[in-house]
Amino acid sequence: MGALHVVGEPTRVITSFQPPQAKTSGHGHGPVVEEIHGLIRVYKDGHVERLPAIPDVPATWGSTAPGSGGVAVARDVVVDRATGVWARLYAPTTTTATGGGAAARLPVVVYFHGGGFCVGSAAWSCYHEFLAQLAARAGCAVVSVDYRLAPEHRLPAAFDDGLAALRWLRHQAAAAVTTAADDLAWWRARCRFDRVFLAGDSAGASVAFHVAARLGQGYLGPLGPLSVRGAVLIQPFFGGEARTASEKTMAQPPRSALTLPTSDCYWRLALPAANNAAAGRDHPWCNPVSRGAPRLETLPLPPLLVCVAETDILRDRNLELCRALRKAGKGVDQAVYGGVGHAFQVLHNSHLSQPRTQEMLAHIRAFVTARS
């Protein structure tokens, strides 16, 4: 996620990517060496400054506020005390899940936010509202993970935090079996832990992909009583040294959420520092179809739904990934949303954003329902 403009949030307009200017900060950190205008500045001494592009909101805000007649309830929990990683939990206030009734158990979606691995939060208002809608429309419980960010925590930190979230969820599943009475019992009672789905948008979709692969490779050992039934990749943020046609030619408006210079900057900040002079954007964590990446045929991946935005610079790379996965024998559904760009479902920066978001939520519900 790069340049941002959020409808309904005045004074939060973020212009397109600007190259970093070699100027002294005035705070003793030296010149700016990397910058995505309005989002993040990195100084020569390693100091990182993140700008308030989108406001953080509490779990009891908007459509989850008590007494608001909202569509979901939410609360925040720590999932890994060693790293400080936390998550926001959602459950719909009512459900049409199989079995019906407010007490019906629901599939669980573990969600990772976007932001190029460098910005973003589970507390951002745009993600809070989107995931409350996802819980309500798709009929699922949601774990929205606030993973550690680069460049302070370069990859694979986000992947490690994704695994930590699954480890925490496995603990919750075990607690549900013993009917432990604590302040999360209400949420566990809504969950079908044998129906887990990984999901995310942009960089978060990349996290979901790599976490799915690592789970399949046994990084956490036996998952039971958890069972991962699928993964939803929304405009997955991948790259490569060779440019795709959409990266080279897809014109982006001033309010675009992702431009090519912004994308490159994120990868410079997120990939291991020693990598940048070696594999570059063909590092397997950036380009899963590169020669140096594990063969897709060998990756034990669950069924995938890949959601593609038609005017996103990542469009062709997303479609290339779908083709490569199918060639490798993986189960892949794809959906292309016409007339909208990167992160349309959270930024609402197009007149088509709302109807396309509703289409996406319907596709996610159908994908989850078919595998639950």
Q: Which residues of 330-362 are buried (b: 16+ CB within 10 A; e: fewer)?
A: bebbbbebeebbbbbbbbbbbebbeebbebbbe
Contact 161, 150 (CB under 8 A): no
**Best CA proximity match to 265, nearest among 45, 117, 149, 124:** 117
Q: What span, in angstroms and rounded, lies between the C-alpha atoms of 105 and 195? A: 10
Q: What span, in angstroms and rounded, lies between the C-alpha atoms of 223 and 353? A: 37
Q: Is the omega angle on the peptide bond into residue 156 within 30 degrees of 0, that is, cis?
A: yes
Ordered DSSP codes for 148-165: --TTTT-TTHHHHHHHHH
Cα torsion 285, 287, 291, 295 to 10°: value is 70
Q: What span, in angstroms and rounded, lies between the C-alpha atoms of 30 and 44? A: 5
Known catalytic residue at 37: no
Residue 90, phi then psi, degrees to nearest 5 = -130, 150
Q: Which of 312, 353, 363, 372 is catalytic?
A: 312
Between strands 48-50 and 304-309, the pairing is unpaired
Q: Which of 128, 210, 283, 342 is catalytic?
A: 342
Q: Where are the alpha helices (DSSP H) in the chain?
A: 125-138, 157-177, 185-188, 203-216, 245-249, 260-270, 315-327, 344-347, 353-370
Ordered DSSP codes for 86-124: EEEEEEESS---TT-STT--EEEEEEE--STTTS--TTB
Q: Which of 63, 125, 202, 350 is catalytic?
A: 202
Known catalytic residue at 342: yes
Contact 269, 118 (CB under 8 A): yes
Q: What span, in angstroms and rounded, lies between the C-alpha atoms of 179 and 100? A: 22
Q: What span, in angstroms and rounded, lies between the C-alpha atoms of 206 and 314? A: 12
Joined tokens for residue 83: 């790293």
Q: What span, in angstroms and rounded, lies between the C-alpha atoms of 16 and 257? A: 8
Known catalytic residue at 45: no
Q: What span, in angstroms and rounded, lies between the C-alpha atoms of 163 and 32? A: 33
Residues with a known catalytic role: 202, 312, 342
